[in-house]
Amino acid sequence: MEPNPLMTPYKMGRFQLSHRVVHAPLTRQRSFDNIPQPHAILYHSQRASEGGLLIAEATGISNTAHGYPNTPGVWTKEQVEAWKPIVDAVHEKGGIFFCQIWHAGRVSNCEFQPNVQAPISSTDKPLAPQMRSNGVDVALFSPPHRLTTKEIPQIVDDFRVAARNAIEAGFDGVEIHGAHGYLIDQFLKDHVNDRTDKYGGTLQNRCRFALEVVEAVVNEIGADRVGLRLSPYANYSESGDSNPEALGLHMANSLNKFGLCYCHMVEPRMIKVGEKVETPHSLLPMRKAFKGTFMVAGGYDREEGNKVISSGYADLVAYGRWFLANPDLPRRLELNAPLNRCMFGQEPVGYMTIDELQALERHLELWMYNIRSAKMQIMFEEIQLLKNKEGILKVSNEILRGKIVEQTEISAAYLLSMQNGMFNF
């Protein structure tokens, strides 16, 4: 049999992993009122494997942390309790489960904030409106409140408390979300951070907030339960940097003193999800600098995953979209079995072809079957899937806890963009 390095065991600190295929954090937006829902039990336990590492989706650290509807949180007792059965289900399957703790910063709107206040950030520079992943809606962002130097320790402490809560919920550890243009990244990147205090200006100063968060979380739950995700090369929400390699290296070197469980970096080619660009850059300098478990993500398939493990470029490979579409991904990669194509994505923006619609219909049937078989709380009284010649879907539905969503005519791309929540429990 051909060698399959992805399937080799790996000891990540206190955790014995049976393979190197990690479930990347994937926002699902099905946590109504920021409370994880029972249907997440099915989603996560389907993707758990004996000795496999799963990272849960971005989970808000406080009531100011959110920037999208229905993302989960981990700052209230109710949220902690709601996570417990989900975590238990992963453990029952022998999985290891980390919670990604997150603050969106300025990638938010005052409607998501308590008292309709301004979202917080490293800066008061507003963010231009953005096309949502559905290719239809436009997200508007409120001008942020620039955190004062004095206000920053409270946010660091929110990360600490969220980490403690995640452990209380049963998670094996936390991944601090320092990537993709959210709050920590807003401090790290010089296209965003325009501060003149000790948190801005030099590279060391821009990294200060991230490292304070790491230190607080490590002190709270122990370094062997803490990972950090970074995307120095990414440019989500205007979060570019003039020297991503220097930034990544500085962080990798600075993290060494903490003895973190892992460092998780997103490949330079993933400027944004779905935009895999040619680039001369790689994570090799950071991999060499960081003296611990190094996880990579961004555009990996089986062949490339095997290649980076065998060459020593990475210890672990996180898969996002492939895991979304293939709950049994580790097993499929082991057998070299065919993979379901992931239907999430920016493309096609607009309408799909008939072939794709047929695939979508099959997905929908499966989803309804899942709902019934899992006795979902969500009421899904009626779904009518109609298609016209242009391939526009008309979906009449009553979803989201019985709340009536009016008959809508929406592009198939929109449905696809919701599939992470809708079609994969």
Q: CB of 402: closest distance to ligand FMN in angstroms? A: 25
Q: How would you class 29 by CB atoms within 10 Å of its CB: exposed for 0-12, middle for 13-18, buried for 19 or more?
A: middle
Q: Which stretch binds ligand FMN (CB under 6 A): 189-197, 254-262, 313-321, 387-395?
A: 313-321
Q: CB of 423: closest distance to ligand FMN in angstroms? A: 11
Pick the closer one to ligand FMN by CB: 118 or 317.
317
For residues 325-364, which are near ligand FMN according to CB under 6 A? 344
One residue of 107, 152, 296, 297 binding ligand FMN per CB under 6 A = 297
Indicate whether 270 belongs to the interface with ligand FMN (CB under 6 A): yes
One residue of 6, 26, 65, 271 binding ligand FMN per CB under 6 A = 26
Indicate whether 49 belongs to the interface with ligand FMN (CB under 6 A): no
Q: CB of 408: closest distance to ligand FMN in angstroms? A: 21
One residue of 193, 237, 411, 420 binding ligand FMN per CB under 6 A = 420
Pick the closer one to ligand FMN by CB: 58 or 333.
58
Q: CB–CB of 190/250 below 8 Å? A: no
Distance CA 225, CA 168 (A): 13
CB under 8 Å to 22, separation ≥6 — which residues?
52, 53, 54, 55, 295, 297, 316, 317, 318, 319
Pick the closer one to ligand FMN by CB: 359 or 379.
359
3-state secondary structure of 354: helix
State which H helix or E strand residue 368 sits in.
helix 354-373
Distance CA 174, CA 8 (A): 24
Q: CB–CB of 24/69 below 8 Å? A: no
One residue of 12, 24, 260, 286 binding ligand FMN per CB under 6 A = 24
Indicate whether 58 belongs to the interface with ligand FMN (CB under 6 A): yes
Distance CA 7, CA 334 (A): 6
One residue of 74, 266, 333, 378 binding ligand FMN per CB under 6 A = 266
- The number of residues making up the chain comes to 425
Indicate whether 37 belongs to the interface with ligand FMN (CB under 6 A): no
Indicate whether 100 belongs to the interface with ligand FMN (CB under 6 A): yes
Pick the closer one to ligand FMN by CB: 275 or 409.
275
Size of site (CB under 6 A) for ligand FMN: 24
Q: State how beta strands 10-12 and 15-17 pair.
A: antiparallel
Nearest-CB residue for ligand FMN: 320
Pick the closer one to ligand FMN by CB: 23 or 208.
23
* Amino acid (1-letter code) at residue 11: K
**Torsion angle, alpha carbons of 338, 344, 350, 356, to 10:** 30
H-only helix segments in 8-151: 39-47, 77-92
| Site track 191-230 with ligand FMN (rule: CB under 6 A), x = hit | --------------------------------------x-
Indicate whether 25 belongs to the interface with ligand FMN (CB under 6 A): yes
Indicate whether 232 belongs to the interface with ligand FMN (CB under 6 A): no
The one catalytic residue in 10, 43, 68, 182 is 182
Distance CA 241, CA 255 (A): 19
Indicate whether 180 belongs to the interface with ligand FMN (CB under 6 A): yes
Distance CA 246, CA 281 (A): 12
Catalytic residue list contains 319: no
Q: CB–CB of 69/32 below 8 Å? A: no
What residues make contact with ligand FMN under the rule CB under 6 A? 24-27, 57-58, 100, 177, 179-180, 229, 266, 270, 273, 297-300, 319-322, 344, 420
Active site residues: 182
